[in-house]
Amino acid sequence: MKAAWEVQGLEDYMDMLKEAGKQVNVVSREALAEVGQELQAEMQIRCKVDKLLPYIKIYTPQREGDYNYVAVGFVHDLAYTPAWAAILANVIEFGSVHNAAMPFIRPAVRAMRSAVNAKIAARLKAATLVDE
């Protein structure tokens, strides 16, 4: 017994999926820019060393293929963070043999994680790119 059927609209559906893939990247990068600012502010609030505050920066949302990300904090790039600030931030965050740790980066990330995820999901949902 043979079965046969005809599928209509598959090309249109595939085109729609391709366009949605592009839009997901655009919307997620926009959301990352917004949450990057919020995460930067949270880190600055928690940082107790005033001379480090100007170096808590946002490295513009980046993309590698379909992987979108934003770096916030002491960016591993001398154009953003001088070596002394990176070293001091590391000592403050993790401590040293002479100083107890006073973390502010990791607690900020932990505190903001669910809000960041919710904001990105809301942006994607508002753009009708995801259902939930």
Interval 81-97 mean pLDDT: 95
The percent of the chain in helix, strand and coil, each rounded to the nearest 5, is: 60, 10, 30
Collapsed DSSP state (helix, strand, coil) of residue 16: helix
**Strand spans (E) along 12-90:** 57-64, 67-73
What pLDDT sits at residue 132? 66
Domain ranges of the chain: 21-125
More confidently predicted of 83 and 29: 83
pTM across the whole model: 0.77
Q: Taking 90 as the threshold, does the pLDDT of residue 101 lie above it?
A: yes
Residues 65 and 58 sit within 8 Å (Cβ to Cβ): no
Collapsed DSSP state (helix, strand, coil) of residue 101: coil
Question: What's the pLDDT tens digit per position in 17-69?
Answer: 777 777 888 888 888 889 999 999 999 999 999 999 999 999 877 888 878 88
